[in-house]
Each structure stands twice: as C-alpha cells, then as structure tokens.
Structure 1
Amino acid sequence: MKVYISADMEGITGLVDAEDVQPPGRDYERGRVMMTEDVNAAVRGAYQAGATEVLVNDAHGPMRNLLPDLLDPRAALIKGRPKPMGMMEGLTPGYDAALCIGFHARSGILGVLSHSFMGHEIEDIWLDDRPVGEIGLFHTTAAAYGVPVVLLTGDDAACGEMTAWDPEIATVPVKFAKDRFAAQLVPVAEARAAIETTTQAALRASNTVPTVNRTSHRLAVRWQSASVASHLPAIPGVTRTDDRTVTVDAPMPDLYRLFNLFLRVATALTSNPPYC
C-alpha cells in the first residue's frame, strides 16, 4: 500500500499564530518540530495499517519546514519550492490513499490561521460556483487521480470543511478555534495518539476508489490586488470577469497545476505578508 501525505502547518498541534508557522517568527523553529512530529504520528499509523511506501510533501509556505533528521526514516520527503503541483507535488494515480496533515480552513471561515493559499492576497475561490479552499481543491484533484483522501487533521473548522466535501473522510481535530489566532488545544500526547490511531483505522477501512472524472471544471479566483487579475489573462484560457476576478475552465488535475501558476504570478507581483 502506497500512502501520500501532504503536510501543511497551520493545522498542526499546538500552533495558533503566524509567529508559530512563518519564518522568522519567534516560535517558528519550535513549530517545525511540532509539524514533524504530527507527520511522524501519521507515518506510524500508515505503517501499522500495512503501508509499504510513504511519501511526504512539505506543503506549507516556503515548503522547507519539516526537519529531515527528525522525520520517521521510513518516509520519503519532498522539500522546497517551486513545485508545479505545489501542495500536491508527487501525488500520482499509483497511490492507494492520501492524508492531509495540519490543514486549515479556507478564507472567510473563522478557523485558526484560516486563509486560501496566499494569506490576504486571495479573497475568495470558487470551484464550479462552490466556495472552495485548499481542502476542497485537494479533495477534487485527488479524486481526479483516482486516489481517495482518507484522513485530515487540523482545527475543528478545517475538519468541518473536509466533512462537508466528503463525510466519509476521517478527521482529527487537534485544536478548537476560539478566533483566527486563538484556540483551545488538545494535549499534545493525546493529539498525536489520535493522529496515529485514526490514520491506521482510516487506511484499514478504506476500500473505495473515486471515479476518475476528467470533465472540465470552472475555477474563479477573486484577488485583493487588481494588478494580479490584470496580468493573469496573459495565460491562454484565463478570463478577467471584473477588476479583481479571473476564471478558467480545465479538467483536474490540469486546473490545479494552472492554479499553482497563478500563485507564482501573484507572488511575483505582490509583497503582502500572510495572516496580517
């Protein structure tokens, strides 16, 4: 059994603030340890369930957060950026299951460190007219590969967002949002144990394979900056529908790859810090 793990940071056990998850934050180095240990809990659970191979993709911010010397040595690691598929780099139809570790709620939802990909720069995203964030785009793209998402860990808002996309997916809330930068934390040992046991159970219970759907989807992105929206129509197929919104139609996973190109253009054009 081949297992793929995408590891974000905002939904990691114990982390609640930009200082925890963004270099050079005063608690960022501690946050890296916490992130690595949450991933290790999932790796242990995967191997207990019978995994023969685990690939971890560092999917947060600079994508250089996980500590290789502390990572379970049975797991392979993708580290650094840019990556054509960003948070989903390395996922192929050859995997049997995908896990989302440390994910967060989308922009506009009152969850811990909630946003959609770029802090304040992305105001809203819609997939086929449905509001979507990192969770929904991950779920839809994995389905296009025929790979079931079986687990998500994060705060209660992120868990609820995943359940809204697919109620069959197991979730582990490691904290409960009080506001965007405040949460009631699950004790660290308890959270890690829950990640490990739930990963094991979810993988053992998984026996469904999503129907691969190569039909076209429509992605709409509303930016804070009109400058970003004015440049993106230079990409073939992208249309600007108002000063700050662009749309594009494509099948998954091509649409996800194209959206990652949007992010690289926006990064080049703006300098907004995250979570401000």
Structure 2
Amino acid sequence: MRIYFSVDMEGITGLVDADDVQPGGRDYERGRQMMAEDVNAAVRGALAAGATHVTVNDAHGPMRNLLPEALHPAARLIRGKPKAMGMLDGLTADHDAMICVGYHTRAGALGVLSHSFMGHEIEDMWLDGRPVGEIGLAHATATALGVPVAVLTGDDRACEEMTEWDSTVTTVAVKYAHDRFAAELRPADEARGAIEKAVATSLVAAPRVASTDSGPVALTVRWQSASVASVLQGIPGVTAKDSRTVQAHGALPGLYRQFGVWMRVAASMTNQRPYC
C-alpha cells in the first residue's frame, strides 16, 4: 500500500501565529519540531495499517520546514522548491490514499492562520463556482487522479471545510479556533494519538476510487492586485472576469499545475508578508 502525505504547517498541533510557521519567526524552530511530530504520528498510523511505501511532501512556504533527521525513517521526503505540482508534488495515480496533515481554512474563513496559498494576495477562489481553498483544490486534484483523501488534520474549522467537500474523509481537530491567531490547543500527546489512530483506522477502510475526471473545470481567482490579474492574462487560456479576477478552464491535475505558475507570477510582483 502506497500512501502520500501532503504536509502544511498552519494546522499543526500547537501553532497559532505567523512567528510559529515562518522562517525567522521567534518560534519557527519549535514549530518545525511540532510539524515533524504530527507527521510521524500519521506515518506510524499508516505503517500500522500496512503501508509499504510512504511519501511525505513538505508543502508549506519554502517547503524546507521538515528536517530529514526528524522524520520517521520509513518516510521518503520531498523537500525544497520549485516543484511542478507544489503542495501535491509527487502524488500519482499509483498511490492508494492521500493524507493531509496540518491543513488550514481558505481565505476569508475565521480559522487559525486562514488563507489561500499566498497569504492575503489571493482574496477568493472558486472551482466551478464553488468557493475553494487549499483543502478543496487538493481534494479535487487527488480525486481526479483516482486517489482518495483518507484523513485531514488541522483546526476544527479546517475539519469542517473538509467535511463540506467530502463527508467520507476522516478529520482530526488538533486545536479549536477562537480567532485567526488564537485557538484552544488540544494536548500534544492526545492530538498525536488521535492522528495515529485515525490514519490507521481510515486506511484500512478507505476505498480505492476511480478517476472522476470528466473534462475541464473552471478555476477562478480574485487577486488583491489588479496588476497581477492583468499580467496573468498574457498566459494563453487565462481570461478576465473583472479587473482583479481571472479564470481558466482545464482538466485536473493539469490546471492545478498551471495555477502554480500563476502564483509564481504573483510572487514575482509582490513582496507582502502573509497573515498581515
């Protein structure tokens, strides 16, 4: 059984602030340790369920947060950037399930460190007219490949967002949002025990799903900057909905990869810190 892990940081046990998750932040090094411990709990669960191949993709920010020596020895780590598929790099149809560790709510939601991919540079996103963030777009892309999302961990709002997309996904709330930078924290040992148990149980029960790729979908993104939207219209297939909103049609996972190009264009034009 081949299991793929996409690991973000904002939804990790104990972390609530930009200083916990951004390189240079006063608590970032502690945050990296917490991140590794959540991942290792999930990996232990996968191994208990019979996983024979475990791939972990560091999917947060610089994508160099997980220290290889801190990771479970059974896991193969995808580290660094750029990556063609970003948060889903290395995910293929050969995987039997995907686990999302440390995920967070989309932009505009009142969850811990909520945003969509780029801090406040992306104001809103829609997939076929449905509001979407990192959770929904990851789920849709994995499903298009025929890979079921088995488990998601994060704060309670992220768990709710995942359930709205797919109620069959097992979720583990490791903290309970009080605001964007405040939460009631689940004790670390309790949270990691819950992660390990949920992964082990869910992988035994997770069905293999057929690809649901039925053709092009529409991805729409509203940017904070009209300049970003204007430049993106130079990419074939990208059209304007209004001065700050662009849209493209395509099949997943190809459209997910193209979205990564949009973000690289936006990053080259802006230098704003996220979570402001």
Would the TM-score normalized by the shorter structure come out above 0.5? Answer: yes
Q: Distance in 1 between matches of 2:64 and 2:96?
A: 26
Q: Distance in 2 between matches of 1:74 and 1:104?
A: 26
Contact 1:216 1:249 in 2 (8 A): yes
> Structure 1, residues 178-230: CA drift from partner, whole Å, max 9, x if none?
00000000000000000001000000011241433141000100000111001
Q: Distance in 2 between matches of 1:57 and 1:21?
A: 16
Amino acid at match of 2:197: T
Alpha-carbon offset, residue 240 of structure 1: 1.4
Alpha-carbon offset, residue 242 of structure 1: 1.2
Task: Identify the residue that residue 172 of structure 2 maps to in structure 1.
Answer: 172
Helix, strand or coil for the counterpart of 2:32? Answer: helix
Q: Distance in 2 between matches of 1:69 and 1:212?
A: 38
1:256 corresponds to 2:260? no
Give the 5 Å matches for 1:5-44.
5-44=5-44
Task: Identify the residue that residue 68 of structure 2 maps to in structure 1.
Answer: 68
Q: Distance in 1 between matches of 2:210 and 2:80?
A: 29
Amino acid at match of 1:265: V
Contact 2:147 2:208 in 1 (8 A): no
Q: Distance in 1 between matches of 2:65 and 2:223?
A: 27
Structure 1: unaligned runs, 5 residues or longer: none
Q: Distance in 2 between matches of 1:174 and 1:181?
A: 15
Amino acid at match of 2:270: T
1:182 corresponds to 2:182? yes
Amino acid at match of 1:160: E
Alpha-carbon offset, residue 23 of structure 1: 1.1
Alpha-carbon offset, residue 111 of structure 1: 0.1
1:137 corresponds to 2:142? no
Task: Identify the residue that residue 152 of structure 1 maps to in structure 2.
Answer: 152
Contact 1:214 1:252 in 2 (8 A): no
> Structure 1, residues 250-269: CA drift from partner, whole Å, max 9, x if none?
01001100001101000001
Contact 1:127 1:217 in 2 (8 A): yes
Task: Identify the residue that residue 128 of structure 2 maps to in structure 1.
Answer: 128
Alpha-carbon offset, residue 177 of structure 1: 0.1
Contact 1:105 1:157 in 2 (8 A): yes
Q: Distance in 1 between matches of 2:95 and 2:185?
A: 32
Amino acid at match of 2:79: K
Structure 2: unaligned runs, 5 residues or longer: none
Q: Distance in 2 between matches of 1:111 and 1:184?
A: 12
Alpha-carbon offset, residue 243 of structure 1: 1.0
Task: Identify the residue that residue 207 of structure 2 maps to in structure 1.
Answer: 207
Helix, strand or coil for the counterpart of 1:234? Answer: coil
Task: Identify the residue that residue 222 of structure 1 maps to in structure 2.
Answer: 222
Q: Distance in 1 between matches of 2:225 and 2:9?
A: 25
Aligned-pair RMSD on alpha carbons? 0.6
Q: Distance in 2 between matches of 1:17 and 1:27?
A: 9
Contact 2:125 2:131 in 1 (8 A): yes
Q: Distance in 2 between matches of 1:99 and 1:207?
A: 14
Task: Identify the residue that residue 106 of structure 2 maps to in structure 1.
Answer: 106
TM-score normalized by structure 2?
A: 0.99
Contact 2:148 2:209 in 1 (8 A): yes
Helix, strand or coil for the counterpart of 1:77? Answer: strand
Q: Distance in 1 between matches of 2:161 and 2:224?
A: 23
TM-score normalized by structure 1?
A: 0.99
Number of residue pairs matched by the alignment: 276
